[in-house]
Amino acid sequence: MTASLSSLFTPCLVLDEAVMQRNIDTVADRAGRLGVTLRPHFKTAKCIEVAKRQLHRNARGLTVSTLREAQFCLDHGVVDLFYAVELAPSKTEAICRLIGKGADLKCLVDSPDAAEAIAARAGDTTVPLLISMDMDGYRCGIPGNGAGLKRLANYIHGRANLRFSGLMAYSGASYGLDSAAEKGRLLEDHLGAALAARSTLGIECPTLSIGSTPAFMNAERLLGATEVRAGIYVFQDLFQAGRGHCGVSDIALSVLTRVISVQPERNRFFVDAGGLAMSKDRSTRGYGFDAGYGALCDAGSGELIDDLVIREVHQEHGVVSSRSGKPVDFSGVTIDRMYRVLPNHSDMTAAAFDKYFVIDGQGDVVDVWPRANGWEPES
């Protein structure tokens, strides 16, 4: 198929394949240089066509954030999966069904209570478990430096229907650091701590999984890590660009929208991408690069239009005005004109849509790729 952007119903998601591929290559090349393999997050794109391109470049398997994603990947032939959200034991039966269908689905725990409850429900199925370590207080996990970790690993190791599969660390605090050197050093420090923790376990630890895109992109020495989890790099977004993790021209995802009302007397106009289409993510708030709910680009060229952002949203209305408060240039702002809007946070913005319209370098629509939204796997 080939179609023009103007034939699309708005709002919809537009994905620039060449920009995405460049992002995939950049990160794959870096992983190659550092001698680690990638386990990309499926949660950013939730799209098998994107995942295939990642798996083609220095990646082993995928990280999933829902069991719906796991099932979708399995249905498309990807079996090496890590469900990197601490497992609620009542989901064990669903896990076992996916394993029964052929998934090598590693799960995550951070407490003996969880491991015990999972074992009690797993029956004859062996569930592979990683242990989530709390490195910096950013999220879940058992402290990486205490006796509890060794006890939990050995508990899992000793249960017939559990398999101890390794350790997971997440350097989420990297998002709060400003300098590239600090971000990289954080990951190296966490890796060092994780390696030290691993050496105390007294049992085999096949996987040491580390993560956060910005930390990885700035680290230099990752020896000992068996895999790196990274996700947002595939699409990037305004937050990542604002924080210096990429350029604005590296953002592969945008929302196509049309003008539905023009009010020069109020220095604003309205587009049909509102709070549902852009999401209410305001991660750029409080920064010099605050972009409201998204930054406008020319629909044809994809070039950013200086100072024009969605400042407010209602459910199906985006209120466009200048970020600076200066008068908007209304020449060319006509009813039905299309724009592309760059998102604050690609994962959140993409979540409202069920597919991507994929464009080539000329801005023509060349493909449509579905997404795997929702949580529950089909039983």
User: What residue ranges bind its own copies (CB under 8 A)?
Assistant: 6, 9-12, 43, 65-67, 85-91, 94, 110-111, 113-114, 117, 132, 134, 137, 139-141, 172, 258-263, 266, 270, 272, 275-277, 279-282, 314-317, 319, 334-336, 347-348, 351-354, 373-376
- Which lies closer to its own copies via its Cβ, residue 222 or residue 234? 234
Residue 102 phi, psi (nearest 5): 115, 0
- Which lies closer to its own copies via its Cβ, residue 165 or residue 349? 349
- Which lies closer to its own copies via its Cβ, residue 149 or residue 277? 277
What does DSSP assign to residue 228?
A: E
From the CB of 67, what's the least distance to its own copies, in Å?
A: 8
- Which lies closer to its own copies via its Cβ, residue 282 or residue 323? 282
C-alpha dihedral sign at 272, 288, 252, 6: positive
From the CB of 28, what's the least distance to its own copies, in Å?
A: 23
- Which lies closer to its own copies via its Cβ, residue 247 or residue 327? 327
Counting Cα atoms < 13 Å in the Cβ hemisphere of 320 gives 33
Q: Tell whether omega for the bond before 11 is within 30 degrees of 0, i.e. cis.
A: yes
From the CB of 223, what's the least distance to its own copies, in Å?
A: 28
- Which lies closer to its own copies via its Cβ, residue 200 or residue 261? 261
- Which lies closer to its own copies via its Cβ, residue 222 or residue 292? 292
From the CB of 297, what's the least distance to its own copies, in Å?
A: 18
Exposed / middle / buried, residue 262 (Cβ in 10 Å: 0-12, 13-18, 19+): middle
Partnered with residue 209 across adjacent β-strands are 168, 227
Residue 142 near residue 115 (C-beta atoms within 8 A)? no
The DSSP bridge pattern shows strands 295-298 and 268-271 to be unpaired
From the CB of 362, what's the least distance to its own copies, in Å?
A: 21
For residue 328, the tally of other CB atoms under 10 A from its CB is 20
From the CB of 231, what's the least distance to its own copies, in Å?
A: 9
The DSSP bridge pattern shows strands 142-143 and 127-134 to be parallel
Alpha-carbon separation of residue 134 from 143, 145, 167, 237 (angstroms): 5, 9, 11, 27
Tokens of 340: 């592309």
Angle between helices 67-75 and 48-55 (to 10 degrees): 70
- Which lies closer to its own copies via its Cβ, residue 58 or residue 272? 272
Q: Which helix or strand (DSSP H or E) is residue 306 part of? A: strand 304-313
Q: Which of 154, 109, 149, 139 is nearest to 127 (CA)?
A: 109
Q: Where are the alpha helices (DSSP H) in the chain?
A: 17-34, 48-55, 67-75, 92-100, 112-122, 147-158, 180-199, 213-218, 238-242, 275-278, 346-350
- Which lies closer to its own copies via its Cβ, residue 63 or residue 207? 63
From the CB of 181, what's the least distance to its own copies, in Å?
A: 25
- Which lies closer to its own copies via its Cβ, residue 290 or residue 316? 316
From the CB of 84, what's the least distance to its own copies, in Å?
A: 9
From the CB of 283, what's the least distance to its own copies, in Å?
A: 8
From the CB of 335, what's the least distance to its own copies, in Å?
A: 5
Tokens of 254: 């945008």
- Burial state string for 297-321 with b = 16 or more CB within 10 A and e = fewer than 16: bebeebebbeebbbbbbeeebbbbb
